[in-house]
Structure 1
Amino acid sequence: MRSLWPVKLAKSGYILLSLLLCVLGVVLIACPLFSAKLLCYILGGLLMVYGAIKIVGYFSKDLYRLAFQFDFAFGMLLCLVGLLMILFPEGALTVIYTVIGIIVLADGLFKIQTAFEAKKFGINKWWAILLFAVASALLGLVLVLNPVKTAGFIMVLLGVSLILEGILNFLVALLTVRIMKNQLPDGFDFEDEQ
């Protein structure tokens, strides 16, 4: 039998980080003049933890293998971006919206593919993943393009995109990660036992 702790850790971590992203998004909407330097430290830390959880998820081999299929490289990228935001917050301040926009856009695009694959697996609520993935990707694109230069509005937009990203990842963890107590390791064939 396979160890279930990596899948449980990845799923729990996805859910916890999703909630934290939503909380940070609400804070940014409520306080659009939030300290940008403090935001770099908080987002940097969240991105590093989130990246680590994505890497654990990639190696966890959950039953469907939908939620974590792109997460090794993306997790490494998140860890690196998070570390850079913490080590060089002044430099990150000038590009924070663009960087977070690219991350949200990329994750939304990956999750669009995940939604279509979830549909093939017969997951009934695949459309919810698709809906939030498209919305998240569009908001990520708006952050990258940065059409409005008002700091307060951009902070609110960043907050909304973090909330959407949190909801999206929560849905993906909830709907596509399956933990089976009797799941056999990869490569195990019943015929080999006979």
Structure 2
Amino acid sequence: MDDLKKLKLVKNIYIVMSLLFCVLGIFLMARPKSSVKMLCVLMGIMLILYGAIKISGYFTRDAFCLAFQFDLAFGILLMAVGVILIARKNFAVYLIFSVFGILILADALFKIQMSVDAKRFGLALWWQILLIALVTGVIGVLVFIRPFEAAAMMMVLVGFSILLEGILNLWVGILTIKIIKSRL
């Protein structure tokens, strides 16, 4: 598969995964009494797939090289956390909020740096990525510190953070993954 087709495929899958994060976030907000073990399995699968997309994206050549610049190591980390969530869901139940909080905060920080780089590239909408990343990072911190004792409230907060993560990644995919056909 040539580089252009590979990049188009990765971009499309990245956008689909972002939409799936949005759907999962909405589901968790609508049904906050869902099983935490079920959440571990669903998020484990999503993290494994998302990590694979990030790793694949790292090896593509998009015009700006913004969307996937930090994704080799972060993709491996996401896949490892996904496997742990599935394989050790009984143990992961106790750590799930902290793990999600850290992952969401880390991704938001990478996206903040990306937005600054996007500004240097001259992308007019760089500030939108920055704004969404800042809000997502704050919500990631809240998930990590668990401000609510009630499991249902925490599931709503996790759902909201996953929804924001999906929106952030969708926006990054649309704005920063540029496919430029080479002219011969």
Instruction: Provide the TM-score with structure 1 as the length reference.
Output: 0.92
Query: What are the superposed Cα offsets for residues 23-77 of structure 1, whole Å, 9 maximum, x if unpaired?
Result: 0011111101011111111000000000000000000021100000000000000
Shift of 1:183: 6.9
Distance, in Å, in 2 between the alignment partners of 1:5 and 1:38 is 35
SS of residue in 2 equivalent to 1:4: helix
Calculate the aligned-residue CA RMSD, in Å. 1.2
Unaligned regions of 5+ residues in structure 1, if any? 185-194
The one-letter code of the counterpart of 2:127 is W
Give deviations 1:134-158, integer Å, cap 9, x for gaps: 0111110111111211101000000
**TM-score under structure 2 length normalisation:** 0.96
Task: Say whether the 8 Å CA contact 2:7–2:60 is kept in structure 1.
Answer: yes
Match of 1:152 in 2: 152
* Larger of the two Rg values belongs to structure: 1
1:102/1:140 contact within 8 Å kept: yes
Equivalent residue runs for 1:133-144 within 5 Å: 133-144=133-144
Partner of 1:130: 130
CA distance in 1, matches of 2:76, 2:42: 18
For residues 138 and 9 of structure 1, what CA distance do their matches in structure 2 show?
A: 31
Corresponding position of 2:54: 54
Gaps of 5+ in 2: none
Contact 2:3 2:61 in 1 (8 A): no
Where in structure 1 do 4 or more consecutive aligned residues deviate above 2 Å? none
Q: Tell me the residue number matched to 1:111.
A: 111
Q: Distance in 2 between matches of 1:102 and 1:171?
A: 21
Measure the CA separation in 2 of the matches of 1:183 and 1:11.
21
Counting aligned pairs with the same residue, the percent is: 49
